[in-house]
Structure 1
């Protein structure tokens, strides 16, 4: 798809879906995907949890969605799925499963045609750029499309006024990310040189940012760099994981602006008292000019995700381990 047409195509697709919302009763939203595509759905679930009094939201791994067979899934359900190239078999099967249950099925993907598209009622083609590179249209990247759909749903069903604030704020995403790349590139280079030989790096966050930490741990560190990792919820840190901390144990802590920040601040205090190898990425240190105050906390995950991608690129360079290298994925039967 030509770059110039990405925005208009995605907006038209989103408008059609929002129009469909008007004629349907929707009581619950199921966000369904695998891996990084699943992780990017956590911020939207957080938004629904915080903002809606009538609609509930859950995030499911595609296969477990089918095996667990939620009894609340039905004709009053919205199922939003995501697969980068629309070829993830489990996600395609989950779409087919949801349609059989009578749910409205919406799928996000980077490509125009794919098996997942064939099993969906609607699709949205989002904008995409490789890790660490500036997306030509970040206002329509996958995270942003999810927010447009989710906030749009609550606007239509409950009159939530944050939809327009999201739309307006997303227009500033390009400027924010450009400043972020300048702010963090040299820091990422230095970090990569210092930590390139570490066998293990833990990530931690909470609330709307937890999915970002999870994605970095499983998709970047484990999948793309073969570094042992685990995403730790800041609220769970003191219920087991903190015993692994010592002066030689690297931690990355994401600190957001949402209501769960006190948990991250508590974790930060302990990390600084008992650890040394720390990378603290705090949204308070980032210029978020252009973001509406009421939705800023929800947009932080999109920004921190980009920051981590900048670090990923430099880490891969320092380790001479390209992000594209795989041992098993797409190479052996699984």
Structure 2
């Protein structure tokens, strides 16, 4: 398998082209006196929102709730009103739980504003007109660039001059992601080719990247590759999971470039002593130093997401397992 940066850049370009449209959308929403924003998704969409939690807590004065479709209705439906904004993400636009919840909200006439981030075209959600605004997530569940720009605008924290700098940073970031992936692609190939597929894997990181690690373990390694995998927050590693470490146990660490990097480094230093099967990715390979700080936070998550997509393709090349070989998902009743 050869690295194909062109497809990543094409997808990124599609997201960036939506920024003016998202600006108009945000301007309308900002006139609605929104008090609570519900970020709703399953699988990878949910973990993308988890990625952004720390960033949003810094920039937003609005209350943020990250939840699943079922939980949104069962727990929060009596709190949803005209001062609520619901933002959902879905790649297929056919997630049954999400559709059922959106239909309940529509039937209840709750007067909530709904933004849909949808990866495919002409979906069931489109046909049912279950949103007020639509953002293309460009063949994924939540495109972090489009989502990040929306939330930055809704924060109403930045001046027009700052917003121009932020928008420019978003347009530049695609090349940064691709250049970073080029540098680490050979190491990624070697890692996937050499890891013992019969052994469960443990993946660790901290900060904004935690959601991506959970996504990779749950929905790529386990769901698609059928490799048992555990995502562990670096700050929790020494509260139990480190007792599993020994020679032959594959453990992977993603070193983030943010405030919690020292937690990831501490884990890596331990692994070097006690296992011969440790692997790590340093996110400083993606040089975001020239980007606006808030953009850099979203872009680092997006870069790790692209890295994990690349790993999945490499695993598929080795195992023959892909989204087409799943045994249960959308195949049997559950």
TM-score, normalising length: structure 2: 0.86
- Residue of structure 2 in register with 1:46 after alignment: 54
Distance 2:249 2:47 in 1: 24
Distance 1:5 1:236 in 2: 37
- Residue of structure 1 in register with 2:6 after alignment: none
Any residues of structure 2 matched to 1:88-103 within 5 Å, and which? 88-99=95-106, 100=108, 101-103=110-112
Cα deviation 1:221-248 (Å, max 9, x = unaligned): 0111010012112222222222222222
Residue 114 of structure 2 is aligned to residue 105 of structure 1: yes
Flag the 1:142–1:297 CA change in 2: closer, same or farther, 3 A.
Answer: closer
The SS at the match of 2:18 is helix
5+ long unaligned stretches in structure 2: 1-9
Counterpart contact for 2:199–2:249, Cα < 8 Å:
no
- Residue of structure 1 in register with 2:62 after alignment: 55
RMSD between aligned alpha carbons? Answer: 2.7
Flag the 1:149–1:230 CA change in 2: closer, same or farther, 3 A.
Answer: same
Residue 88 of structure 2 is aligned to residue 81 of structure 1: yes
Flag the 1:273–1:94 CA change in 2: closer, same or farther, 3 A.
Answer: farther
Structure 1 stretch displaced more, 308-317 or 224-233: 308-317
Structure 1 stretch displaced more, 229-238 or 90-99: 90-99
Any residues of structure 2 matched to 1:119-134 within 5 Å, and which? 119-128=130-139
Residue 44 of structure 2 is aligned to residue 33 of structure 1: no
How much does 1:215 deviate? 0.8
Counterpart contact for 1:77–1:103, Cα < 8 Å:
yes
The SS at the match of 2:44 is helix
Any residues of structure 2 matched to 1:65-214 within 5 Å, and which? 65-69=72-76, 72-99=79-106, 100=108, 101-117=110-126, 118-128=129-139, 142-155=143-156, 158-159=157-158, 163-195=163-195, 197-214=197-214
How much does 1:183 deviate? 1.2
How much does 1:80 deviate? 0.7
Any residues of structure 2 matched to 1:247-262 within 5 Å, and which? 247-262=247-262
The SS at the match of 1:31 is strand
Counterpart contact for 2:69–2:101, Cα < 8 Å:
yes
How much does 1:70 deviate? 6.2
Cα deviation 1:114-139 (Å, max 9, x = unaligned): 23332111111122379xxxxxxxxx
Any residues of structure 2 matched to 1:2-13 within 5 Å, and which? 6=14, 10-11=18-19, 13=21
When the two structures are aligned, how many residues end up with a matched partner? 320
Distance 2:301 2:13 in 1: 26
